A and B are shown apart, each in its own frame.
Chain A
Amino acid sequence: MNKTWAIVNKILPFSCVDGPGNRLVIFLQGCNFHCLNCHNPYTIQLCQNCGQCVGNCPNLALSFDKGKTVWQSEQCKQCDTCIQICPNQSSPMTYRYSVEEMLTVIRKYLPFLNGITFSGGEATLQLPFIQQLFAQIKSTADLKHLTCFIDSNGYLPRQGWQKVIPLMDGAMIDLKAWDNHVHKYLTGRDNQRVKDSINYLAARNQLYEVRLLLIPEQTDLLFNVAKIAEFLNLLPHKPRIRINAFHSHGVTGNAKNWHSATQRDVENFATQLSKYGLNKLTLPAVYLT
């Protein structure tokens, strides 16, 4: 049976970096990568209902009921104590939304929206929900002008994409490293499926953007400019390419000590890519270095 609700980490009614125009972004909880550089590590795991955080909330926003950890958002002061305590790198601060409830949220912000984008975590882990929501949007008179996007790590297999492609308007895919072993070191997973997704989506004109995250000394993107350019140049419908600059603010573990990508790093990388004829490049507007 199809899942008719989603576990949501947060919803933002304003985003100008998740597709064209202003977008409502729905961040789904849960991810199948374990990126060392993750800026929101508490979105990776689903809550195991172990209860450890419950007694530690200074604002009594957490309780335990029938084996489940319950979070009351009205009491919560966003102090993040629970996130720091959680042994599972998860968060009790998630919401369950049915498709109907999500449509209500979308309608609330409708005049402001050009579209909606599912992000994460990894959005595609809750694909049935996405399918149903997109299907509703596309078949409802007051909503069908909204464009539907997915921001993904690209690990979804082809059969998954096949299900949503008829309902969506585009995807943003992260390519976190070129060589498989570097990718595996950074994310815990192989990147062949990511490259497959990029090819598959591009062939169907559903690849809106490829995102390249520059992490000095950690990623191999700079050493593989020629190969990356060749790969991207072969795509039938050229996507936009967004270069993101790693910064250590908010990450955990060893990545805290990694160097941030500077404007020079990014511009140097962009110049090299453009030498190979790649021109739809978006660079960061601000550098937090």
Chain B
Amino acid sequence: MTNMTAFQQQCYRVVTDSNLSPKQKSNNLALLAENHLPYVELDLETKHALEQRVICDMYEGHAPYKPRYVLPDYQLYLKQGSVWLELEPANDFDDALNMLTIIYHHVPSVTGMPVYLGRLDELLLPYVGSLTENELYARLKRFWIMLDRNLPDAFMHANIGPSDNIICRLLLRIDRELKQVAPNLTFFYDEKITPESLLTVAIACICETGKPHIANYNLIAKDFDKMGFGVVSCYNSLPVAGGGSTLSRINLKEVALRSEDRHDFLTNMLPYYCRLQLNLIKERSQFLYEKSNFFTNSFLVNEGLIKPERFAPMFGIFAMAEAVNILQEKAHLSGRYGQDEQADLLALEISQQLADFVNQHTVTYGWRNKAMLHAQSGISIDHGLTPGVRIPYGEEPDPVSHIMSVFVHHKYYSSGISDILTIDETIKNNQAALLKICLAAFELGMREFTANISGNDLVRVTGYMVRLSDIAKFKQQGSRTNTTVLGSEAASDSSGFLHRQPRVISHEQNMGHS
């Protein structure tokens, strides 16, 4: 025991951890092994910035061998079957469900589980045939239970809507009945297609489970092409038949600390770290595309379910609130982000500049040869750092003022941004109020509308759902659900995540052992 190398000791800690399941252990061991390899080659400045964590690689691993998020074209798969999986095209509803169940196990991602389950209503509607509502209900309910039990990861994400259809309505009903953590659910709302009666059902579900999260379909669709997009994991919008190759993020607080003042931040420091982050992204995707052989031997590529050129690297940022507050202090201004007009204007200027940077720089391996800007919603090790461009925990104003001070950022973050509104439980007696503010948020230009109703057992901690009761249980007995581990980390954070305002971080892997 005492003779073990540091690496062996790390592995040993994972192997003997009393709270991790065998599967969680093997994921952690794989990551340790990967991180035993040398890091992809970086120039000195980028390396330095990464070591100082001004830029962060999300602990994706030293040698990326799979894309972070994969969004297969499941429609094509059901239509053509799969040679590699030895499956005929789907003939009926049971075929379709069975085929999806199979392929989910072969869709890689940073979590080792699929983060995207497809637009389920659109996928399944062609196979409804003569099945009655009751027959569909029974099948979908079993399917939903299977997803939660077999793929227990709350980053796994299903999409439904915007059309009013029987599958969409049944899934909302089943999700509300089962109150499972997984899968996460995004409902696409399109003002031209979605009837208010359906949105009302979705709002009623939110009041009970915090799900679904509602996406402003038309607004997001503008940033994508005809093949469309999916919302996956923690509010990432990405091209279907593609995905997100890698995600790095800039810690804006660290950039602000290194800046003399606002001018230095905007003209020197931010552009400098943007360039370094772009280097990091380029090197990491180059390894994925050129060395790892992922795109040369995957059946997903060979059968046309994903296309290498439809993957975008995600250019993330976080801790906008801290950065703005630091720059305000450096200018001897007291106004804080989310509460003061001047501070909010500075934040907006930063978002604009970031968007310009990303648009002006090409990357070899990127959808449309670009990276995509992303307001990253945090990981459990972020202490005292606010996700994305959100207003810090406990400082949020009422939901209407909240929306009015953040919506201006939404148009810049084409691969996703999220603000979580915490709404008092009294809303349950007056759901029309929630409906109204959701519609108003979309009218103003919010990409996504996510509400936590305080007091529910099932709450959104960051981008994903956890049960408060599970968190209480976890410390004694471990948890069946991967992300409850992460939720419990977040919950025990000294800033008191769950005690103040239910909160979101996206935590795609267990940081505890990496």
Q: Find out whether the CB atom of A22 lies under 8 angstroms from the CB atom of B424.
A: no
Query: B430 near A: Cβ within 8 Å?
Result: yes
Q: Are the C-beta atoms of B429 and A16 separated by less than 8 Å?
A: yes
Check if A16 sits within 8 Å of B430, measured CB to CB: yes
Measured CB to CB, the closest approach of chain B to A283, in angstroms, equals: 8
Is residue B469 contacting chain A, with contact meaning CB distance below 8 A? no
CB contact between A112 and one of B424, B425, B429, B437 (< 8 Å): that residue: B437
The tally of residues in A whose CB lies under 8 Å from a CB in B reads: 19
Q: Are the C-beta atoms of B455 and A22 separated by less than 8 Å? A: no
Residues of B within 8 A of A111 (CB): 439-440, 443-444
Residues of chain A with a CB closer than 8 A to B432's CB: 20-22, 114
Q: Is the CB of A286 within 8 A of B398?
A: no
Minimal Cβ-Cβ distance residue in A for B453: A285
With both chains docked as a complex, state the minimum distance between the C-beta of B179 and any C-beta of chain A, in angstroms.
18
B428 at the interface (CB under 8 A from A): yes
On whether the beta carbons of B436 and A13 are closer than 8 Å, the reply is no
CB distance from B27 to the nearest CB of A (A): 39
Q: Considering the chains assembled together, what is the distance between the CA atoms of A111 and B435 in angstroms?
A: 12
B455 in complex: contacting residue of A16, A114, A285, CB < 8 Å: A285
B338 to chain A, nearest CB (A): 15
Interface residue B399 (Cβ < 8 Å from any Cβ of A): yes
Chain B 417-436 interface residues, beta-carbon cutoff 8 Å to A:
424-430, 432-436
Q: Return the chain B residue nearest A111 by Cβ.
A: B440
Contacts of B399 in A (CB 8 A): 14
Residue in contact with A114 in the complex, picked from B404, B425, B433, CB distance below 8 Å: B433
B85 interface residue per 8 A CB criterion: no
| Shortest CB distance B445–A (Å) | 11
| B219 to A: closest C-beta gap in Å | 15
| A224-261 at interface with B (beta carbon < 8 Å) | none
Distance between Cα atoms of A20 and B424 in the complex (Å): 16
With A14-B400, A111-B444 known as contacts, the answer to whether A21 contacts B429 (CB < 8 A) is no
Q: Does B401 contact A (CB under 8 A)?
A: yes
* Beta-carbon nearest neighbor of A115 in chain B: B436
Q: Is the CB of A112 within 8 A of B400?
A: yes
Chain A's nearest CB lies how many Å from the CB of B344? 15
CB-CB < 8 A to A285: which residues of B? Answer: 424-429, 455
**Nearest CB in chain A: distance from B105 CB, A:** 42
Nearest A residue to B442 by beta-carbon distance? Answer: A111
CA–CA, A38 and B493, complex, Å? 37
Q: Does B436 contact A112, Cβ atoms closer than 8 Å?
A: yes
Q: Are B426 and A22 in contact, with the CB atoms below 8 A?
A: no
Q: Are B398 and A13 in contact (CB under 8 A)?
A: yes
| Contact yes or no, A17 B436, CB < 8 A | no
* Chain A positions 194 through 229: 1 when the CB is less than 8 Å from some CB of chain B, otherwise 0: 000000000000000000000000000000000000
Q: Which residues of A does B touch, CB under 8 Å?
A: 12-17, 20-23, 109, 111-114, 282, 284-286
21 contacts between A and B (CB under 8 A): A13-B401, A14-B399, A14-B400, A14-B401, A14-B437, A16-B424, A16-B427, A16-B433, A17-B430, A20-B430, A21-B430, A21-B432, A21-B433, A22-B433, A22-B436, A22-B437, A111-B444, A112-B403, A113-B436, A114-B436, A286-B424
Q: A16-B430, A17-B429, A112-B437 are in contact. List 7 more A-B contacts (CB 8 A).
A: A15-B433, A16-B426, A16-B429, A20-B432, A21-B433, A109-B404, A114-B433
Q: Name B's A-contacting residues (CB within 8 A).
A: 398-401, 403-404, 424-430, 432-437, 439-440, 443-444, 455
